[in-house]
Amino acid sequence: MVKLYGLNEENEVNEEPKDAVERVFGATPLSVESLPTVDADTKLYRIPLRDISKREINEYSITNIEELAKSIENTGLWQPIIVRKDLSSDYVKYVIVAGERRYSAFELLYNKYKNEGNSVKAELFESIEARILTDEEAEKFEEDIYRDTNDLSRQLTNFEKVVQTDPMSIDLTNPETQKQYVIKVYGEEAVQDFINGKIDVPNTKKTLAEYIRILVSERYLNEDISVGTIKNYLGFLEKCEDELRLATIHGKIAIREATSLAKLSPEEQFEAVKAKEELNEELYLELLSKAEKPVVKETTRAIRPNEVLKKNYKKAQKNVRELNALIELLKSDIQNTSKVSKEMESNIDTLIELQDLLKRVM
């Protein structure tokens, strides 16, 4: 008996789907038409890991999976895997043509977060971007495996290009990183000046953005992302919660919406990512609307208690009385003096002006 997804031993429909894949994609086997499209132009689809199997024989070594998984988690999936339909299966499944290391890295991340009980993070790695080839295309691909596969990739966004530089791992306090910055900005001839302390590499977000801008332009010829835009991306990556960062890096949430969602509390960011994964559009839009709502700061004029006002008023009255007494004393001295210095006259004028000022204030 063939056991179908979402059915029990008697092939009766289970009331509760086993996991998020079934909630999102349905309990029945997936057809190509039912798969979410990542990029219509390049025919990229997002396929659940459970619907993909590895080749029985792989001529390439599958090593350093942990290192690749860490890179994918931090910078996203650079290239989709390549699959073809598995015609030997009783239901629609796919066999990997190219990208078994990437698939294994996704498996590792999915199992890691599932075992930790973090369902939101686990669901981010529950499916993977893949290009589906026909049998004829798969044979041609395997014959010419070393050809340029850029045509199988989708166009990356500016945010994804910045993330691919792994900005959170760039340490501008590291002398070697500083040296590379100097080389890229000023040229090889400036290295000696840097060593001699004549060139300083400040550890600022602007400097980091400038460095990343050069890295992106080197990787993508003629690509020029402004320093201001990169600084905004860096600000988002710094302040957002881990779940929102991962969801944005892996294309589950658009950067424009993610930037707004980062203004929410950590709990609300978590809820937004969860709502997006579970296709709860109503809750997601509610949280997004809350995040995009401008914050109006109420400006209230502080009013001092009456006791404080009375105390200050009495002190001012005392100061005026003392000032009046001083003025009268000076006038008396002037009358008894035949010669009055201009300096004393100036002092008296100043005191009189101050007296008038205090009277107006009171």
CB–CB of 313/362 below 8 Å? Answer: yes
**Model confidence at 151: pLDDT above 50:** no
Q: What is 20-155's CATH number, 3.20.20.70, 3.90.1530.10, 1.20.120.610, 3.30.43.10?
A: 3.90.1530.10
pLDDT of the residue at 89: 60
**Model confidence at 261: pLDDT above 90:** yes
- Enter the tokens of residue 243: 């779940």
Q: Which residues contact 288 (CB under 8 A, 6 or more apart)?
A: 257, 260, 261, 272
pLDDT of the residue at 339: 53
Of residues 157 and 353, more confidence is placed in 157
pLDDT of the residue at 272: 93
Burial 246-257 (b: 16+ CB within 10 A, else e): bbbbbbbbebeb
- Enter the tokens of residue 261: 């969602």
36-65 pLDDT, tens digit per residue, is: 555 656 678 888 998 888 876 655 556 678
Nearest CA among 99, 98, 104, 122 for reference residue 112? 122
Name, of 35-39, 148-152, 346-350, the range with top average pLDDT: 346-350
Q: Which residues contact 115 (CB under 8 A, 6 or more apart)?
A: none
| 136/84 Cα distance (integer angstroms) | 10
Of residues 6 and 173, more confidence is placed in 173
pLDDT of the residue at 204: 92
Among 23-27, 262-266, 270-274, 307-311, name the one with the lowest average pLDDT: 23-27
Nearest CA among 102, 96, 86, 76 for reference residue 30? 86
pLDDT of the residue at 289: 92
Find the mean pLDDT for residues 303-314: 65
Nearest CA among 242, 187, 192, 243 for reference residue 214? 187
Of residues 309 and 100, more confidence is placed in 100
pLDDT of the residue at 35: 61
Supply the mean pLDDT for the chain. Answer: 76
**Model confidence at 22: pLDDT above 50:** no
Q: What is the pTM of this model?
A: 0.56
Find the mean pLDDT for residues 184-202: 90
CATH 3.90.1530.10 residue window(s) in the chain: 20-155
**Model confidence at 120: pLDDT above 60:** yes
| 179/192 Cα distance (integer angstroms) | 10
pLDDT of the residue at 279: 86
> What percent of the chain has a predicted confidence (pLDDT) above 70?
67
Q: Which residues contact 287 (CB under 8 A, 6 or more apart)?
A: 261, 264, 268, 271, 272, 275
Beta strand pairing status for 37-39 and 44-48?
antiparallel
